[in-house]
Structure 1
């Protein structure tokens, strides 16, 4: 099953209640984190973001090195 492979690869974890919600739309943050995990980008616990809505980013999404993700290859 596709979900099992994605979970085993560490790309997706599901929600805190241990469920997946396939009918629920992904947020920009959720998609960004999945891309970063798939690309195995380094995480930086001290990362700072300057998005207008940065105050709305939950703690689990703050450690992503945003500059690394947005940098062209």
Structure 2
């Protein structure tokens, strides 16, 4: 079985959409229950480690540029 670039990109996009959907459901349930949502923990981690956040953003930008630049 050979994996093409399009198949891998489609799989990554599907996984990202699935993770976003699960996070939205979790956020909705947390807000309905009145508990602390996941985004507060993510926001705290981003503020605690700004250099790591910057490095991840650059890495994502490099990957997207590599995949989509003609």
Determine if the TM-score, normalized by the shorter chain, exceeds 0.5. no
Tell me the TM-score range normalised by the shorter chain. Answer: under 0.3
Largest Rg, 1 or 2: 2
TM-score by length of 2: 0.25
